[in-house]
Amino acid sequence: MALDPGNGPPPVSPERERLRIEAFRLALDVQAAVPGAAEAIGRLLETGRSQDWPEVFRAGLFAAAVAATATDYEQTLPAINRLLAQAESDGDYAMTAIALAMRSSTDTTASAASAAVDAEADLARATVLLESGGGNALDRITAHNECAQAYCDRWLWELGDEQFAI
């Protein structure tokens, strides 16, 4: 039976959806230093990979990137780049926007002079991707929040407010 593209993707099992949402909770837990959160992210990633549940795997990569920003600065950029590569490969605009906005907020002071320009391009691309729509609500909300935070980091309050208002 062919899927009507106007109806969106086929429904996923409740367990897949529960695990996808669990990744976002784990991202919060790791920031709050909840014991075992980082290990749970690793297990979630393995489940997403082994079950071939790409939305769970991508959400796990997001949680892993958040964990890196909270616990292992040296792994932040590699973790974000893994999320970006997977999201782009899967054609997931919302997760791509999340990764780009996160990458635009990484510390570029020790990098090459072009890093600041690249960061601005990442944030602009994330914003444009969000304008195109698509993706589930939780991913889109997260992407808008990541963009808003990046704009506020730059003291571009009005642009940040626009992202928070969506």
**Number of alpha carbons in the 13 Å side-chain half-sphere of residue 109:** 1
pLDDT score at 132: 81
pLDDT score at 107: 64
pLDDT score at 71: 85
Average pLDDT for runs of 10 along the chain of length 166: 48 89 96 95 97 97 95 90 96 95 77 73 91 85 89 77 66
DSSP state string for the chain: -PPPGGG-SPPPPHHHHHHHHHHHHHHHHHHTT-TTHHHHHHHHHHHHHHTT-HHHHHHHHHHHHHHHHHH-GGGHHHHHHHHHHHHHHHT-HHHHHHHHHHHHTS--TTS-THHHHHHHHHHHHHHHHHHT--S-HHHHHHHHHHHHHHHHHTT-HHHHHHHHH-
How many other CB atoms are found less than 10 A from the CB of residue 16? 17
pLDDT score at 2: 42
DSSP 92: -
